[in-house]
Amino acid sequence: MAVTTTPVDEGAIDGFGEGLRGELLRPGDPNYDEARAVWNGMIDRRPALIVRAMGVSDVMAAVNLAREEDMELAVHGGGHNIAGKAVCNDGLMLDLSMMRSVRVDPEERTARVEAGATLADFDHEAQAFGLATPLGINSTTGVAGLTLGGGFGWLTRRYGMTVDNLRSVDIVTANGELRHASDDENSDLFWGIRGGSGNFGVVTTFEFDLHEVGPEILSGPVVYAGEDAPDVIRHVRDFNENAPDESAVWVVLRKAPPLPFLPEDVHGVGVVLVVTFYAGDTEEGEEVLAPIREYGDPIADAVGPHQYAAFQQAFDPLLTEGARNYWKSHNFSELSDDAIDTAVEYAADLPTPLSEIFFGQIGGEMARVPSDATAYPHRDAEYAMNVHTRWEDPATDDECIAWSREFFDAMAPYATGGVYVNFISEDEGEESLAYGENQDRLAEIKAEYDPENLFRMNQNVAPAR
């Protein structure tokens, strides 16, 4: 295949690679294609340079080069990046995936996490001490991207959003300087980082508060036939209204995957998965979750004691890299009957067997934080919906994307008007829905720390003028 990239001034990068502790890759280098590949198979871009950073000095050097040579700069963390903003055409891709250190202080109950770490890296270290912080639901997710967008998961109802548990960061800003940001130092920058995506620089290290979790927790799915979905989801909704913060019950509409606890005759058939999690004593959890498990006539019940880290990996096989993905998202303050019926209707016509619709229950502790306390604004959301439209054949791109957009539009009348920034696939004007009432303040902070919008390969906030 012919290599076509914008020429880079050889004089500008002469000796640049020798000054790195990491690796500099150009088109044609042996590891170039592997390094430029991202999780979403729809994204196929060719940067002129890839810097595989090994530490802060490499990050500073890459940011300075991109700024001085007016190169488009894309930053790749350790995970999914559905929108594909982690790689650019012709510019500089800064790859942080080799910076994966996680250092836990069990006495202080804190963790310092480098920007290339995944949830699996984090859990491996923190669970050695029976500790965790609210993170996502797939172990292959990158800690950095998840956190910068707000971050939620099974522990959110009890301990808040990921950003509510963020104590400080180290960040390289557009001028190439390393800054420390916390509530006490560069507090405006710290506010913007907590939900403002990658707009303000390259975070190299995150410091989190930790909580006692596990190592064993009560969790797992109860699976029902697709035709039972309207009644099942209504039951879950009614249960969730009065459930304690320790409880999180999510709903997933999809074709049954070949999970070992499901009979073979339902593989590929429409089902509704009611996924339970209890962040507390397992015996208490059994009692709390009993109304969920005793309802109706399920196909399977796989709820039981599980290792927390293992449960974080339970759904990884459904989100392996390389498939084509297009996502849409809504937030809901409640699930009305009409919203449920609309979702069930569209779930009966999923465009591929790999696609799914989920409603993740949040609320609880995250809802007690004021909407302007961090850049993440959606404190009124009781549910975050995501449609994972997922397929393998490029010939079906238009069909799958059109179905996603149609479903998004059909659900809009029942939603809050907010969306989760990490679930936005492409530039369709949803950034304003993601940042909501905090957009203006984000633009002011952007103007202070990145007035030329060097960090624009993201769900972008333009600098205030």
Q: What is the CATH number of the domain that holds 441?
A: 3.30.465.10
Q: Are residues 377 and 255 in the same domain?
A: yes
Residue 118 and residue 259 in one domain:
no
Domain CATH code at residue 368: 3.40.462.20
The proportion of the chain whose per-residue pLDDT surpasses 70, expressed as a percent, equals 97
Strands (E) in 26-85, as ranges, are 49-52, 73-76
Burial of 152 (0-12, 13-18, 19+ CB in 10 A): buried
Total domain count, the chain: 3
Same domain, 179 and 308: no
pLDDT over 90 (residue 175)? yes
Across the range 433-459, mean pLDDT stands at 95
What pLDDT, on a 0 to 100 scale, did the predictor assign at position 17?
82
Confidence band, pLDDT 50/70/90 cuts, at residue 81 = confident
pLDDT at 197 over 90: yes
If pLDDT is split at 50, 70 and 90, which confidence band does 12 have? Answer: low
- pLDDT beyond 70 at 6: no
What phi-psi label fits residue 359: left (phi over 0), alpha (psi between -120 and 50 degrees) or beta?
beta
Look at residue 75 and tell me whether its pLDDT is greater than 60. yes
**251-275: pLDDT as tens digits:** 999 999 888 889 999 999 999 999 9
pLDDT above 90 coverage of the chain, percent: 88
387 occurs within a structural domain: yes
Predicted structure pTM score: 0.94
Taking the C-alpha atoms of residue 190 and residue 170, their distance in angstroms, rounded to an integer, is 10
Q: What angle do CA 233, 239, 244 make, to 5 degrees?
A: 135
CA neighbor of 354 nearest in space, from 330, 329, 319: 319
N-term to C-term CA, the chain: 43
Q: What domain range is 67 assigned to?
A: 10-95
Decide if 463 is inside a domain.
no
Q: What is the pLDDT of residue 8?
A: 61
Which tokens is 448 given?
A: 């202070």
